[in-house]
Amino acid sequence: MHAGTICCDRTGLRSDICVMKGDVRTNSASSSIFLFTSSTNNNTKPEKIKPYTRKWETSVMDTVQELNLITKDSNKSSDRVCDVYHDVPAVFFSTGGYTGNVYHEFNDGIIPLFITSQHYNKKVVFVIVEYHDWWEMKYGDVVSQLSDYPLVDFNGDTRTHCFKEATVGLRIHDELTVNSSLVIGNQTIVDFRNVLDRGYSHRIQSLTQEETEANVTALDFKKKPKLVILSRNGSSRAILNENLLVELAEKTGFNVEVLRPQKTTEMAKIYRSLNTSDVMIGVHGAAMTHFLFLKPKTVFIQIIPLGTDWAAETYYGEPAKKLGLKYVGYKIAPKESSLYEEYGKDDPVIRDPDSLNDKGWEYTKKIYLQGQNVKLDLRRFRETLTRSYDFSIRRRFREDYLLHRED
């Protein structure tokens, strides 16, 4: 691109992205980004863009702030000069939309931010539209691994920020993943996970030190594989016999931790628990996004309630495999669902979930997501636990063998 130009790619299904090059200036009062040029032949037309990655979903995009990208003649303009000059590029994106749901925070925001900005090697400024203090508190550790500069609140900071180049919008590939063939430097989802590892490492060291000083004794995970149950806090898709599942897992040979993350739970604490685990178990839902915190070659068991097969595999199962996890999708039998007693074995809700899902998202949401709990058949589930235990023991043995051979 030449200086003084705006170039937009609107061919993507999931997001639009525009690049501005030259004298780029923010004007938050008019929701605009100006590109000043002295060229007398500049016929660049104004552009509009909503910098959020669910372009096809009209209902949520209607709530996202739109930005105006406008070319101005620097010889005629009386607009304010720069209050803050940046000598690195900017990336503009929104933390509106579905932000507040951990799946969307990673899938629609953090991973696309990595894809869009990683090639700048941290020499980039992030300008956030619809900025939230809590978002920066929650993800600041990760964002600091992508940029060396403070975040700019587009609406809250009314100063004119000036850049030589700006990317407006984020690139997104697929569900919770990175397509290396589309990334400068051929980065993968494993490289994204390495960013998480670096981002949380300092805080994890502090947590460990705090526990040491408080004489908190951790389980000896070196002797037994560690299994984490990601427990749901809501009124749906809970494991009703979770206490018996814990007992069974312990009898199988695991050290067991039940993790019940709240919206206010520090991400570093969740990361620490899962990063040191051999197996994670959870019922399909947004919290399964935390499989990203598991180390490659560990086990992720997703319990799949009735009527959620496609979503479970598409949003979490397939992405988990791309991260290099040993993924196990445990599809519950009808009798393991609370819907079995509620509707009876002959009801289409039980016999033919696809026919209900075909009626639309509202049916799926009300019946299978909001109205269903799980009571595991532990005799049936024991086989999954045993195989996961054996797999974990073999993996640990191989890793120890390779480590000692190198020594």
**183-218 tens-digit pLDDT:** 988 999 999 999 999 999 999 998 888 777 666 555
The answer to whether the beta carbons of residues 233 and 265 sit under 8 Å apart is no
Structure-model confidence comparison of residues 206 and 222, the more confident one? 206
Q: What is the mean pLDDT of the chain?
A: 93
Q: How far is CA 296 from CA 2, 113, 146, in A?
A: 42, 22, 22
Token pair for 341: 């007693």
Average pLDDT estimate for 268-281: 97
Alpha-carbon Rg for the chain, nearest whole angstrom, is 24
The amino acid at 15:
S
Asked if pLDDT for residue 383 goes beyond 80, the answer is yes
Cβ burial of 40 (10 Å; 0-12, 13-18, 19+) is: exposed
User: 226 falls in which pLDDT band (50, 70, 90)?
Assistant: very high
Residue 128's contacts (CB-CB under 8 Å, 6 or more residues apart) are 92, 93, 94, 95, 135, 151, 152, 153, 154
Q: Identify the CA nearest to 279 among candidates 295, 267, 266, 303.
A: 295
CA dist 8 and 189 (Å) reads: 26
Q: How far is CA 337 from CA 317, 334, 358, 365, 384, in A?
A: 20, 5, 20, 15, 18
Asked if pLDDT for residue 270 goes beyond 90, the answer is yes
Q: Enter the pTM of the model.
A: 0.93
Q: How much of the chain exceeds pLDDT 70, in percent?
A: 94
Residue 286's contacts (CB-CB under 8 Å, 6 or more residues apart) are 101, 102, 103, 104
Say what angle helices 267-275 and 133-143 make with each other, to 10 degrees.
40
CA dist 315 and 174 (Å) reads: 9
Q: How far is CA 398 from CA 123, 228, 253, in A?
A: 40, 22, 19
CA dist 118 and 268 (Å) reads: 21
Q: Please give the domain boundaries of the chain with CATH numbers for all domains.
A: 5-172 (no CATH), 226-404 (3.40.50)
Residue 360's contacts (CB-CB under 8 Å, 6 or more residues apart) are none
Structure-model confidence comparison of residues 212 and 309, the more confident one? 309
Asked if pLDDT for residue 220 goes beyond 60, the answer is no
Question: Which residues are 239's β-sheet partners?
Answer: 374
pLDDT of 74: 79
| Residues 43-58 pLDDT 10s | 678 999 999 999 999 9
pLDDT of 42: 64
| Residues 276-305 pLDDT 10s | 999 999 999 999 999 999 999 999 999 999
Average pLDDT estimate for 307-327: 97
Structure-model confidence comparison of residues 79 and 176, the more confident one? 176
